[in-house]
Amino acid sequence: MKLKFLTKTPKINGASTGLSLGAAFLMANSSIGPGFLTQTSFYTEQLLTSFGFVILLSILLDLGAQLNIWRVITLSGMRAQEIANLLFPGLGHLLSFLVVAGGFAFNIGNIAGCGLALNILTGISFEQGAMISGLVAILIFWLQEIGKMLDILTKYLGILKITLTFIIVYFAHPPLLEAVHHTFVPEKISMIAIVTIVGGTVGGYITFSGAHRLIDAGVHGESQMPFVIKSAKTGILISAFMRFILFLAAIGIVSKGITLDKNNPAATIFESAAGRYGLFIFGMVLWSAAISSVIGASYTSYSFIKNTRIRFLKNERLIISVFIILSTTLFVILGKPKELLLLAGLVNGFILPFALAIMLIASRRLPALNKYAYPLWIELSGWAVVIVMGSMSILAAFGTRF
């Protein structure tokens, strides 16, 4: 398999800027889904203002992971599974299975979030809301050119989520000084919280979503690195910003002694801050988060099987539609979205060190990638993520906390 490189740097115009933001928002929106809302609310109640430290550490781990993975993928011009298969035959198939399985688990939770959101906004049942939202997601993929749709839709949904959550922060009146202080000097730390939050915001399929979008748009090669790195950093900052303002909203409510609903902790935050209007805002935020994550998970999961030789699997819209239909059906049958979202974040936290290690080894062993002067500090930061996340994932699996 030959590696592909661009020979010229395309002009940075409105279209390329839109592509950069589109890839950034695709990655950010994939991570800012129902799982994001549930995980942040759940662990803020447990760790209080010290959860700010978990967010800070997750941002640093996100940077180490994303900068390496986006660089390797866009330098090679190949998707992650192709790189893994080139490194060791069959390794890419294993990676694809893990990523698609993790994406599928998350997508069940995403569909559940859609159902809950429409239940709040309209009063229809969870199951009806899930089925309607699944149909909307399928129509989005069928009615527009997929790449352009992703760039536009994810951007506006991301802006909507951030704006509405900002309103809730204002009404929640969080203890800002205490939150900032404990972000840098935590009173308590939970490894399982770190693994789950990192796994839910950059683990599994999420870490590949933006880079695969750039590959599909023809952005690859050494000349594109400034463009790629800017897009990766933007996506991480968008995700981190949303994570922190939701944390501030949560701590504003929890610090008042209000207990969050065990089945829907994020809803309690919005309703307690702004009453009936807050609950309506939550419905809008949740649906925006859920539908954008359905789109991101479906698109990225399919990108791990789109280069297959099986003719049936080459029909992108059809396979994505089946992926969404199966996710919706399983939610209707199984239920329990909160438990599934927390478990999916933890599982994706295991996938991250495995996938990142493959990309880092490939950056040294594939001849074409060796031609690029790969910054040592970025590579070392990637290996630090592999070690930290790998160790924490193992300890968290055995119930070890500190």
DSSP-assigned letters across all residues of 251-286:
HHHHTTTPPPPSS-HHHHHHHHHHHHHHHHHHHHHH
Domains and CATH numbers, the chain: 14-306+320-397 (1.20.1740.10)
SS3 content of the chain, % helix, strand, coil (to 5): 80, 0, 20
The model's confidence at residue 402, banded by pLDDT at 50, 70 and 90, is: very low
Average pLDDT of the residues in 329-338: 74
Q: Are 165 and 285 in contact (CB under 8 A)?
A: yes
Identify the burial level of 281 via C-beta atoms within 10 angstroms of its C-beta, where 0-12 means exposed, 13-18 middle and 19 or more buried.
buried
pLDDT value, residue 333: 81
- Write b or e for each residue in 136-148: b if 16 or more Cβ atoms lie within 10 A of its Cβ, otherwise e: bbbebbeeeebee
Answer whether residue 131 shows pLDDT above 50.
yes
Average pLDDT, whole number, for the chain?
Answer: 79
Answer whether residue 2 shows pLDDT above 50.
no
pLDDT value, residue 178: 92
The single-letter DSSP state of residue 304 is T
Q: Are 363 and 382 in contact (CB under 8 A)?
A: no
Please state, in angstroms and rounded to a whole number, the distance separating the CA atoms of residues 93 and 1. Answer: 16
Answer whether residue 35 shows pLDDT above 70.
yes
CA atoms within 13 A on the CB side of 226: 7
Answer whether residue 340 shows pLDDT above 70.
no
Cβ partners under 8 Å of residue 277, min gap 6: none
pLDDT value, residue 11: 45
Please state, in angstroms and rounded to a whole number, the distance separating the CA atoms of residues 398 and 350. Answer: 13
pLDDT value, residue 132: 92
Answer whether residue 13 shows pLDDT above 50.
no
Of residues 305 and 251, the one with the higher pLDDT is: 251
Answer whether residue 207 shows pLDDT above 60.
yes
The residue type at 113? G
Average pLDDT of the residues in 156-180: 86
Neighbours of 315 (CB within 10 A): 12
Whole-prediction pTM value? 0.78
pLDDT value, residue 146: 59
